[in-house]
Amino acid sequence: MANIKPSLAKGTRDFSPKEMEKRNHIFNTLKTVFKKYGYNEIQTPTFENLQTLTGKYGEEGDRLIFKILNSGDYLSKAPEALLTEKASNKLISHISEKALRYDLTVPFARFVVMHQHELTMPFKRFQIQPVWRADRPQRGRYREFYQCDVDVVGSDSLLNEAEFVLIYNEALAALGLKDFTIKINNRKILTGIAEVIGKPELIVDMTVAIDKLDKIGLEGVNKELLERGFTEEDVEVLRPIILLEGTNQDKLASLKSVLAKSEAGLKGIAEIEEVFAYLTSFGMSALLNKVVELDITLARGLNYYTGCIFEVKTNEVAMGSIGGGGRYDDLTGMFGLKDLTGVGVSFGADRIYDVLEELNLYPESSAATTQLLLVNFDPACEAFLLPVLMQLRNEGVAVELYPAAVKLKKQMSYADSKGIPYVLLAGEEEIKSGELSLKDMRSGEQQKLNVEALIKYFK
């Protein structure tokens, strides 16, 4: 059998120990903030029943779901006509019953419905797990990536939306980001705009098109609107709405005028104003002026959002959104549990990783797990150091003993390449005197310590 050259599937990555330290720095920082706001962690399976996922993300999203072929001879039960026709879309339901999860929100909705009698409402959860999308890989966009979601179900209070703004602000600041924008909009405002131009049935087409403003520009959006059934007159009415400028208050005032005859539109404006009022009550007026931005083009092309929607972008690095989410009043209704409202946001961990990498924001400690390496000179040295090793570990020190009595240069090189900050040297003389040599690998300085002092030093 010929040797197969090892390769990665497109859109996936390996993570080295150093990279995992950095990723865990992100996850642990986020978890700390989530817990502070009263959220508890859950996990759901890697794959779900295909019918659980389809129809929840819109037409574009459904195409990006990774389907899993049924076990065994999966074509044996497929209709002959579809096989002859080579109609893959029609064939899917006959050969695939399961799929890799596309996001964490729909599995969460399924979880809530299945466990509704065990949960205390409102139920606040966070979840940090990988998701999969059959997207075209590019910088900052992967086919396998982690999502970090925070959701609350069973409460329609807009206090939740306001707290998500605080969570984004606190978590990203804790990771070292200094310049980012938390964009906010409301699907009811978008519904109102569609109503005002007399095309309420084309709300999804409109939102999918205007959501692409950043990527394809105004002319591209106009072209797509025309292709999706809007007229030149509709496009002209939409132009000033799409290009709204000024402060958040200026934009709200303009929208009140434009949407004066739309009940849904005015409700959306009132919800945004209530979120802003909560932020002011929190003493976060500065956040409203500098970080939070009302963006009418923000549509989040997912069919299940019904109220406020969010998207977060960093302004320090050229990168797509690093977070987003919104309210989904009827998501659990798809699984038979009616009238349970929810709202949630997500952090794009992989993009955040790249941003922190580019800005060099990882703490030094995240590069190394081992604090101290015990140098192994000979069997007598090893015998002396084994109980010392256990004493240090029992005190919570991350320490390792080099597993063989090889040349000192090789052991020091090992410590250096792993980023271990301290090395302990215990030769024949040190063992006799009880005074061991502790070397700081960064400064090169050495000091003599007995075992008791050594343990105290690292505690």
Higher pLDDT, 91 or 360: 360
Dihedral (Cα; 32, 350, 46, 92), 10-degree rounding: 150
Mean pLDDT of 25-45: 98
Residue 371: both structure tokens together:
């604090």
pLDDT grade for 301, boundaries at 50, 70 and 90: low
How many CA atoms, within 13 angstroms, populate the side-chain half-sphere of residue 156? 8
pLDDT grade for 319, boundaries at 50, 70 and 90: confident
Mean pLDDT of 194-201: 87
Mean pLDDT of 176-180: 97
Higher pLDDT, 57 or 131: 131
Higher pLDDT, 93 or 150: 150
pLDDT at 414: 95
pLDDT at 436: 94
pLDDT one-digit tens code per residue, 99-151: 999 999 889 989 999 999 999 999 999 999 999 999 998 876 789 999 999 99
Higher pLDDT, 205 or 435: 435
Taking the C-alpha atoms of residue 264 and residue 189, their distance in angstroms, rounded to an integer, is 7
pLDDT grade for 50, boundaries at 50, 70 and 90: very high
pLDDT one-digit tens code per residue, 220-234: 888 988 888 888 888
Angle formed at CA 327 by CA 290 and CA 128, multiple of 5 degrees: 85
pLDDT at 70: 79
pLDDT at 140: 66
pLDDT grade for 368, boundaries at 50, 70 and 90: low
Q: What is the mean pLDDT of the chain?
A: 90
What's the per-residue H, E or C state across the chain?
CCCCCCCCCCCCCCCCHHHHHHHHHHHHHHHHHHHHCCCEECCCCCEEEHHHHCCCCHHHHHHCCCEECCCCCCCCCCCHHHHHHCCHHHHHHHHCCEEECCCCHHHHHHHHHHCCCCCCCCEEEEEEEEEECCCCCECCECCEEEEEEEEEECCCCCHHHHHHHHHHHHHHHHCCCCCEEEEEEEHHHHHHHHHHCCCHHHHHHHHHHHCCHHHHHHHHHHHHHHHCCCCHHHHHHHHHHHCCCCCHHHHHHHHHHHCCCCHHHHHHHHHHHHHHHHHHHCCCHHHHHHCEEECCCCCCCCCCCCCEEEEEEECCCCCCCCEEEEECCCCHHHHCCCCCCEEEEEEEHHHHHHHHHHCCCCCHHHHCCCCEEECCCCHHHHHHHHHHHHHHHHCCCCEEECCCCCCHHHHHHHHHHHCCCEEEECCHHHHHHCCEEEEECCCCCEEEECHHHHHHHHC
Q: Which amino acid is at 199?
A: K
How far lies 227's CA from each of 64, 205, 209, 431, in Å? 22, 10, 10, 82
Q: What is the side-by-side order of every strand in the sheet holding 40-41?
A: 40-41, 123-132, 144-153, 342-348, 323-327, 308-314, 180-186, 292-294
Taking the C-alpha atoms of residue 221 and residue 216, their distance in angstroms, rounded to an integer, is 7
pLDDT at 1: 58
pTM: 0.84
Q: Which residue, among 279, 428, 336, has the nearest Cα to 116 in the 3D structure? A: 336
Q: Which residue, among 251, 234, 278, 230, has the nearest Cα to 185 in the 3D structure? A: 251
Taking the C-alpha atoms of residue 181 and residue 304, their distance in angstroms, rounded to an integer, is 23
Burial 133-156, CB ≥16 within 10 A → b, else e:
beeeeeebbbbbbbbbbbbbbbbe
